[in-house]
Amino acid sequence: MYLRWMGFTAALAGLAAGLAAWGCQEESWSPPERSHAGRDYTNFAPPPIVMPEPGFPQPPGDTASPAGGSQAVDLVKAATLFRILAAGDVQDALDTFEARPQFEFLTADPSYRETPDAWAFFFATTIIVAGNSAAAEPTVAYYNPFLDAAVLTRWTLRADGEPRIAGASLRLGSELIQGGLAATPALPPWMTAGDSAPQSLRNQYRAFMDAFGAQFPPQGRTPWAAYAHTSQTAMEVVGGMSLIQAESLYVLANSDECPVRSLLREFHTALAAADKAKLSRLVPQDNSMSAEALAALPTLFRAHLCPVYTLTDGKRVVVFVGDSRALRFYGLVQYEVEPAARIKSVAIFDLAAQDSVVAAAAVVGGPRP
């Protein structure tokens, strides 16, 4: 790990001490089968996005619905496919979309050369937002709310009509909001705000969406030149924090020294199975969501949650969990380590909601078999 990242490690550890005051609540998961030997960070991000089968209704997701007919639909499909591929192997995505030159800002960076799978983690935990969707060259942002950063991509049509990436860059969300590049690295705003973590994340998410919508309106034709150059501050921040989180999630799922590892798996298994008896044993009786409410969460949402972000101070472990198909919705589970590992709280949230906690029936369109 490069020395420039060490400050973020210390900052994350320090911030974790204040998580109890935030009113945090989180969740858990067991890792999928390993596809190959060695560390595979993509196993600890949300599962691959599955395109809906014909006739199967797609759950409400994160992709903004652009105007413009079939061309817009093709753009969304292509942008989603790029994210699917990048979440598993960034280089595979770049090769498939013939986008190596456009992403040289990333592939030439030390953070990517050292650990490319950490950047796969970044893409796997992003929300897709389309802008200038009625223009000949629309813009698609891959926004990571936990890191408050977005890979901006400019798209065009090849001669055969296939959408392809014509340009790409990286921005912090705060840079888009403020209208200029940051001079020094800083933690994501939600981590330093005085509000609760869910409220701070929600405020940050809405601020980014407002800024992106204003700069890349559906009917607009925003000049790409103003966004073509990557923010070096963003590269430093995102490269470091992506690696830290990829490592942290790996330890959470695999290290025998992780005090909540077995409890995390047990809770995830019970939640996926809607096992109300086991959930009643694991979740505090005074939790804001009862075991019955957790078991009633839609199967499509409940069975595919896995960690996307984690913080710890040694006495507590906070785990944000989500599902790639609708990462706007996420869970928050707080584990206490001493005197013995236990779940302190669990709740489900919506980044775009007006209220803090999401009603169980509203998540991802309601229960499905």
pLDDT value of position 45: 34
| Residue 260 domain flag | no
pLDDT value of position 105: 95
pLDDT value of position 328: 83
| Residue 308 domain flag | no
Structure tokens given for 355: 């209220």
Mean pLDDT computed over 249-277 = 87
Interatomic CA distance for residues 167 and 110, integer angstroms: 21
The CA distances from residue 29 to 226, 261, 268, 286, in Å, are: 41, 9, 4, 22
Closest to 118 measured CA to CA, from 43, 175, 186: 43
Confidence of residue 69 (pLDDT cuts 50, 70, 90): low
Number of domains the chain is built from:
1
Structure tokens given for 6: 């060490």
| Residue 264 domain flag | no
**Per-residue pLDDT tens digits for 296-305:** 988 878 888 8
Higher per-residue pLDDT: 16 or 348: 348
pLDDT value of position 355: 58
Task: Give backbone dihedrals phi and psi of 162, rounded to 5 degrees, phi first.
Answer: -80, 135
| Residue 184 domain flag | yes
| Residue 30 domain flag | no
| Residue 38 domain flag | no
Interatomic CA distance for residues 104 and 101, integer angstroms: 5
| Residue 23 domain flag | no
Residue 83 has pLDDT above 80, yes or no: yes
Mean pLDDT of the chain: 77
**Per-residue pLDDT tens digits for 3-35:** 233 333 333 333 333 333 333 333 332 333 333
Residue 50 has pLDDT above 50, yes or no: no
**Per-residue pLDDT tens digits for 224-257:** 999 999 999 999 999 999 989 888 888 888 888 8
Residue 163: burial class (beta carbons within 10 Å; 0-12, 13-18, 19+): buried
Q: Which residue has the tokens 């690295």?
A: 185
Q: Of the ranges 39-43, 148-152, 220-224, which one carries the lowest mean pLDDT score?
A: 39-43
Global pTM reads 0.80
**Per-residue pLDDT tens digits for 53-65:** 333 333 334 444 4
Q: Of the ranges 69-83, 95-109, 122-136, which one carries the lowest mean pLDDT score?
A: 69-83
Confidence of residue 323 (pLDDT cuts 50, 70, 90): confident
Domain hosting residue 125, numbered range: 46-250
Rounded to a whole number of angstroms, the CA Rg of the chain reads: 20
> What DSSP string describes 254-307?
H-TT-TTHHHHHHHHHHHHTT-HHHHHHHS-TT-SS-HHHHHTS-HHHHTT-EE
Q: Which residue has the tokens 């970044």?
A: 122
**Which residue type occupies 75?**
L
Residue 85 has pLDDT above 80, yes or no: yes
Interatomic CA distance for residues 305 and 116, integer angstroms: 24
Higher per-residue pLDDT: 103 or 357: 103
Confidence of residue 339 (pLDDT cuts 50, 70, 90): confident
Interatomic CA distance for residues 158 and 170, integer angstroms: 24
First to last CA, the chain: 45
What region, left, alpha or beta, does residue 366 occupy, with left being phi > 0 and alpha being psi -120 to 50 degrees?
A: left
| Residue 182 domain flag | yes
**Per-residue pLDDT tens digits for 175-212:** 999 988 898 888 898 988 878 888 899 999 999 999 99
Confidence of residue 346 (pLDDT cuts 50, 70, 90): very high
